[in-house]
């Protein structure tokens, strides 16, 4: 990262946020230790498949058939998301 950090929340405030909960879920689910937001960001760009899998889990996506991979081909254009995965969009919207 570049530039001066202008503000950072106190550790006890971070612990009660959705981002804090997501960070703890990543640590628990992937057996890694993250020191904070920057480490979480670095992990998210280094492990795209793991990141999107964890996002789907945290958002409560209800798969009928869970995909084996979440990002099978990251090339743009033409990225292949969740091949083999099926879900009911209406079930999520309603």
This prediction has a pTM of 0.80
Contacts of 15-21 with CB under 8 Å at 24 or more apart are 21/58
pLDDT attached to residue 92: 85
pLDDT attached to residue 55: 95
At residue 12 the predicted structure's pLDDT band, cuts being 50, 70 and 90, is confident
For helices 37-46 and 48-59, what crossing angle results, to 10°?
A: 110
pLDDT digits 0-9 by tens, 35-90 = 888 999 999 999 999 999 999 999 999 999 999 999 888 888 988 899 999 999 99
Burial 27-56 (b: 16+ CB within 10 A, else e): eeeeeeebeeeeebeebbeebeebbbbbeb
pLDDT attached to residue 1: 56
């Amino acid at each position: 990262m570049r530039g001066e950090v202008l503000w950072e929340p106190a550790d006890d405030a971070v612990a009660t946020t959705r981002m804090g909960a997501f960070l703890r879920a990543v640590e628990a689910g992937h057996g890694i230790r993250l020191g904070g937001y920057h480490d979480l960001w670095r992990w998210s760009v280094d492990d795209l498949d793991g990141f999107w899998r964890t996002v789907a889990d945290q958002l409560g996506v209800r798969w009928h058939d869970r995909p084996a991979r979440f990002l099978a081909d990251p090339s743009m254009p033409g990225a292949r998301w969740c091949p083999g995965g099926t879900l009911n969009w209406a079930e999520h919207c309603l």
